[in-house]
């Protein structure tokens, strides 16, 4: 079935077979053909983000803020007063 699929796709697209998929969009791909399992991991990507923001040695916690914390709009500066660099870094850190 695989060979038929590749042959059909090759008619319309330039293809190359690089072997078993190990990495996709920055994530690690592990395959166990016997068990029919595919595992996806973003550990490498997450470690890169931690390095970028000098947080490689941070201590992970389940809840990164104090319990029952309530935020209000007044806790944040208005959009026109926010520093673009800080806003961009926040977006990168949170994957926005």
Mean pLDDT of 45-49: 84
Alpha-carbon distance 24 to 68, whole Å? 38
Highest mean pLDDT among 24-28, 36-40, 53-57, 87-91: 36-40
Alpha-carbon distance 9 to 28, whole Å? 25
Q: Which of 87, 92, 83 is nearest to 53 (CA)?
A: 92
pTM for the predicted model, two decimal places:
0.48
Alpha-carbon distance 21 to 41, whole Å? 13
> Which pLDDT does position 38 carry in this prediction?
93
Mean pLDDT of 10-32: 87
Alpha-carbon distance 30 to 41, whole Å? 8
DSSP state letters, 41-79: E-HHHHHHHHHHTT-TTPPP-SSSS-TT----GGGS--G
């Amino acid at each position: 079935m695989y060979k038929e699929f590749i042959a059909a796709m090759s008619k319309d697209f330039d293809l190359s077979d690089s072997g078993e998929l190990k990495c996709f969009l920055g994530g690690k791909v592990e395959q166990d053909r016997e068990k029919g399992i595919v595992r996806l991991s973003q550990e490498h990507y997450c470690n890169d983000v931690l390095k970028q923001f000098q947080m490689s040695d941070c201590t992970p916690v389940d809840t990164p803020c104090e319990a029952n914390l309530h935020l209000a709009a007044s806790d944040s500066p208005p959009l026109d007063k926010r520093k673009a660099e800080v806003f961009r870094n926040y977006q990168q850190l949170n994957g926005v």
